[in-house]
Amino acid sequence: MRHLHGNMKTAGFKGLGYKKALWFAAKTTTVSQFQKAMQDIADLNVRCLEWLQDKPASQWSKSHFSTYCKCDFLLNNLCESFNCILEAREKPILTMLEWIREYVMTRMQQLRDKAERLWEGKKLCPKIKQIVDKNLKKAADCIPVKSDDTHYEIQCFDGARYTVDVKEKTCTCRLWDLTGIPCNHGMSAISAQVLDPDDFVHECYHVDTFCKVYAPPIMPLDGLEMWEKAGYIPPVPPSFGRKRGDLRGQEDWNLTRFERARKLKRKSKKCQGKEEK
């Protein structure tokens, strides 16, 4: 979203109003909310709306995100964790790969130790537990109206209404569906049944799942001097297409380095002779 906003400013749509309107549209979780947000952008500038409509909403607005992956991130901060290899990227290839291997090996072991020692006896990862507690407090602003044992109509103080299915773990605001963590509407229904909210969080956030992810270790290796010596491995020739014209020059790779150099030299002499003529 930060890069999208940067492109928006480059296109000429600058100012705090455009920024707030863009982020509001990005954070909406339902199609109706998204359409209203886009109308607000059109009220600011119709050209800005036309510029945004060229960008698929499924790539930048929560309202069009898939609910399969349980992720509602609008930033690419997750990939920033790979910045740890900046120290290694200037090294020779084998040294770089060895540095990365050792780093990943120790990092995975640190996370295993963290989960086993600090999170022992806990069901949810700590940051997810914080979100659960936060949504549970927000549930005080909601009034659950029971339909049956699994369905509730949630009435909010701002006049909005949403339906919650406790059994299917869904809410029409789509926030529970997107993240796998019960929203404040879902928390209201769960509290009405006097159930444990932790039982309704998706299993991908469980400590047991975290431990399973990092369970397979990267095994240690001996030093370079103990590696098995390999024979001469010729360089891989470049790939060529299936067309007859693309095979031109492939036969040169069957020649020795000196034969190829001689052939190139003869070609350059021919070219020089043609130029002189």
CA distance 165 to 186: 8
pLDDT of residue 236: 77
pLDDT of residue 244: 47
pLDDT in tens, the chain (277 residues): 989 999 999 999 999 999 999 999 999 999 999 999 999 999 999 999 999 999 999 999 999 999 998 988 888 777 888 888 888 888 898 889 999 999 999 999 999 998 988 898 899 999 999 999 999 999 999 999 999 999 999 999 888 999 999 999 999 999 999 999 999 999 999 999 999 999 999 999 999 999 999 999 999 988 878 888 777 777 777 765 544 444 444 455 455 556 666 777 777 766 666 656 5
**C-alpha pair distances (Å), 252 with each of 123, 213, 263:** 63, 48, 9
DSSP assignments along 188-246, one per residue: HHHHHTT--GGGGS-GGGBHHHHHHHT-SPPPP---GGGSPPP---PPPPPP--SSGGG
Find the radius of gyration of the CA atoms of the chain. 30
CA distance 142 to 24: 22
* Residue 269, token pair as written in the block: 């002499």
pLDDT of residue 5: 93
